[in-house]
Amino acid sequence: MSSPNVITKTEYLTGVIERITFHAEDTGYTVARMQVKGFKDLVTIVGSFPNIQAGQTLQVQGSWYNHPKHGQQFNMTGYKESKPATLTGIEKYLGSGLIKGVGPVTAKRIVAHFGLDTLDIIEYEIGRLVEVPGIGKKRVQMIQSTWEEQRVIKDVMVFLQGHGVSTTYAVKIFKQYGHESILIVTDNPYKLAEDIFGIGFHTADKIAFKVGVSPWSKYRYKSGLLHILSEAAEDGHCFLPLPELVNSAIELLRVDVQEADEETLELLRVDEHQIDGEAVVKTAQEMTETEDLIVEQVGKMLLCYKPTFYYTEENLAKLLLKQLENPINIDLPRVKDWIQRYTQSKRIKLSPQQLEAVIKAASSRVMVLTGGPGTGKTFTQKTIVALWQAMGKKIGLAAPTGRAAQRLGEMAGLEAKTLHRLLEFDPAKRGFKRDKDNPLPFDAVIVDESSMVDLFLAHSLLKAISPTCQLLLVGDNDQLPSVGPGKILEDLIESGKIPVVTLNQVFRQAASSAIIRNAHQINQGHYPKLEVISYTPKSDCLWHDGGTEPEHTVQVISELVTEFIPELGFDPTIDVQVLCPMTRGLVGTRNLNQVLQQLLNPPSPEKAEVSRAGMILRVGDRVIQLKNDYDRQVYNGDLGMVKAIDTSEKLVTIQIDDRDVEYDYADLNEVALAWSISIHKSQGSEYPVVIMPVSMSHYIMLSRNLIYTGLTRAKQLAIIVGSSKAIGIAVNQWNQKQRYTRLVERLG
């Protein structure tokens, strides 16, 4: 599908809905055919309606665009309902099915009796319907109830659209709150940010100003504080110190107030002192009384948690300590004898560290195995699995991502699952079926890539582990921490409570890879030894000077994917992943995705496409999931490929982990293009070829573990594009951003 020819001029059409082609109950997304005066053929209108029926007379606002397959359509951005003026229109309206108790035959009788006064009679004198043959008092009550329901929907939609709420969000608001929509939006529009995905603090704030909510409303202060904590969680924090929370909230509230109307701005010039730390602190104190906020005192510092974060962190520590209370007694000589026989039969030799890891895994209730690339983590795990099998244990294998689980299963020769599937997520109850009352049916569980496991997933896992089960967490602690809140693997190691074995001997075969050698060089704070790129490379780790200008770096990446990579025998559409330190800027994921999409998956008449929120998706595009979607059972960071786009049904099919997942157009804000993704989002995945831009424009994000993580995602070839100065800065910056967690202290 080629890009639609959108005419930006806003127009108004008035007509009667003849038929509904498509209507999605959950989002309100609708395709309908409307008879408009002056048009010979029916007009196709597309937009969001809470409920719509044939026979309704609407005035719709929007613009025209040409759909390459379905022709000219009218993209509706707002509407209001008009009463039909003709007897035929009234009859069609009433008989459309909009009102329970009134079908086409009854509608004909009502209109025949009351004529053009029919709608006024139903509106103001509905009891008179008993005058119509065949309509009794019971049916009148049914008609009255439905008529009032429809009127409420119309009133809500008119109110919301009148206050600048888009039709898409207006539908979601009505679906969420029903008859109480106007009351909630008028009283506390900030509740929308808590309850409706896609409406955050900033959108709720704009609505609040338009409905006249005071900039100093307690609801606004409370929502601002919760928004700051949510943003902190996205940066990995489990809490914020009170001064940091208050200062950030003051800044947020002041900045957003500047977007208010002139009257509000005039008030602010007089009363700006009211948005101060004292008022915000008072709101925080009130939130602790209502348990919307947990404040923990540590020394002289007050730490502010969202309740779910506080109780989850506290309970995770308790579960771990309880698990450690159950020691395991093993016959050590027998275990050592088995290891000797096993290694001899396999004609291999374990290093002292690997031997220690296998013995500890046999004797520990919970254990951490960590180490960088090439240090033998995989073979150590394989030996542990074989030992546990020899001991008659039933083993469960899991990893945070589908690809990591697949690699783990191939290594062990057993089925491995994602953690969400291992714990059996139940969309109906928005939780896992496996918990303390229904524990996992295993004697031992291995979780690979555990540096990716965040606070909430770790807690769910520990809840599902029986007291007699053993847990082995495997990961590389030098990689970036999880995308979600916490730094579980690092905290467990730092606590000193959990047995840990660190593998740091790089084996000879692995050391032949420059990717692995340079990863360890970077990890030790040394500048990597990179081969300058050429068409006859001798190394699997190359460097291309990206220059000092971002435009030049983008040009270099474009030439690599279109010329250099294909020359080496790789398919850039499936083998190459561009990994970026940042999302913004010319050398960020957003811009590079547009550039790479145009190069690797350009538009063509044969390829369907859809434009949504400034993003164009085509069949064949690589995409990434941006949030946990428990209904579809896809999770933040999952990668997929657009397989089909149904422009009639407004559905996009994306293949994720060998299964097809359908998205309504209205839900496409959950996904983004993934020709280029952030290094954070790449964790747990491996790619044949990685291209990693590292430039001075990424300065605020540059760190050693960021570059280390990106480099170790490459299996066969890694190409760093950028300035040597930026690489040097990254290598010298370690763990630049600390995360606020207290798991270590709770375990102590």
**Tens-digit pLDDT profile for residues 135-176:** 888 888 888 887 777 767 667 766 776 666 766 677 678 778
At residue 3 the predicted structure's pLDDT band, cuts being 50, 70 and 90, is: very low
- The amino acid sitting at 223 is S
> Residue 289 and residue 271: Cα distance in Å, rounded?
28
- Residue in the block written with tokens 């369907």: 608
Instruction: Output the known binding site.
Output: 374-378
Is it the case that residue 4 has pLDDT exceeding 50?
no
Of residues 271, 263, 256, 251, the one with CA closest to residue 207: 256
Task: Name residues whose C-beta falls within 8 Å of residue 538's C-beta, 6 or more positions apart in sequence.
Answer: 531
Give residue-wise pLDDT tens across range 417-427.
999 999 998 87
Q: What share of the chain is helix, strand, coil (3-state, %, to 5)?
A: 45, 20, 35
What is the average pLDDT across 660-671? 85
Give residue-wise pLDDT tens across range 87-137.
777 777 677 666 777 878 888 899 899 988 887 888 888 889 999 988 888
Pairing status of strand 294-298 against strand 301-305: antiparallel
What is the average pLDDT across 490-512? 88
Radius of gyration of the chain from its Cα atoms, rounded to whole angstroms? 31
At residue 636 the predicted structure's pLDDT band, cuts being 50, 70 and 90, is: confident
Q: What are residue 79's DSSP bridge partners? A: 60
- Kindly state the DSSP code that residue 686 receives in the 8-state scheme: -
Per-residue tokens: 718: 């890694």
**CB contact at 8 A, 77 and 69:** no
**CB contact at 8 A, 592 and 554:** yes
What is the average pLDDT across 52-57? 74
State the pLDDT at residue 273: 42
Give residue-wise pLDDT tens across range 118-127.
878 888 888 8
Of residues 734, 719, 679, 726, the one with CA closest to residue 698: 726
At residue 611 the predicted structure's pLDDT band, cuts being 50, 70 and 90, is: confident
> Residue 686 and residue 718: Cα distance in Å, rounded?
11
Is it the case that residue 448 has pLDDT exceeding 90?
yes
**CB contact at 8 A, 564 and 535:** yes
Give residue-wise pLDDT tens across range 209-218.
777 777 888 8
> Residue 574 and residue 544: Cα distance in Å, rounded?
22
172 burial type by CB count under 10 A (0-12 exposed, 13-18 middle, 19+ buried): buried
Per-residue tokens: 79: 């509407």
State the pLDDT at residue 26: 63
State the pLDDT at residue 258: 47
Is it the case that residue 662 has pLDDT exceeding 60?
yes
Instruction: Output the known binding site for ATP.
Output: 374-378
Give residue-wise pLDDT tens across range 705-738.
889 999 999 999 999 998 888 888 888 887 556 8
Q: The whole model's pTM is what?
A: 0.75
Give residue-wise pLDDT tens across range 246-286.
999 988 887 544 455 555 455 444 444 456 678 888 999 99
Is it the case that residue 6 has pLDDT exceeding 50?
no
HEC secondary structure over 594-620: HHHHHHHCCCCCCCCEEEECCEEEECC
Q: Is 283 helix (H, G, I), strand (E, B) or coil?
A: helix
- The amino acid sitting at 319 is L
> Residue 460 and residue 422: Cα distance in Å, rounded?
11
What is the average pLDDT across 482-505? 93
Q: Is 5 helix (H, G, I), strand (E, B) or coil?
A: strand
State the pLDDT at residue 166: 67
State the pLDDT at residue 243: 92
Give residue-wise pLDDT tens across range 172-231.
787 788 778 888 888 888 888 888 877 888 888 888 877 777 788 888 899 999 999 999
Q: What is the mean pLDDT of the chain?
A: 86
State the pLDDT at residue 270: 41
Higher-scoring residue by pLDDT: 214, 298? 298
Of residues 489, 488, 432, 493, the one with CA closest to residue 465: 432
HEC secondary structure over 492-552: HHHHCCCCEEEECCCCHHHHCCHHHHHHHHHHCCCCCCCEECCCCCCCCEEEEECCCCHHH
State the pLDDT at residue 167: 63
State the pLDDT at residue 161: 65
What is the average pLDDT across 583-593? 90
State the pLDDT at residue 323: 94
**CB contact at 8 A, 232 and 740:** yes
> Residue 545 and residue 73: Cα distance in Å, rounded?
49
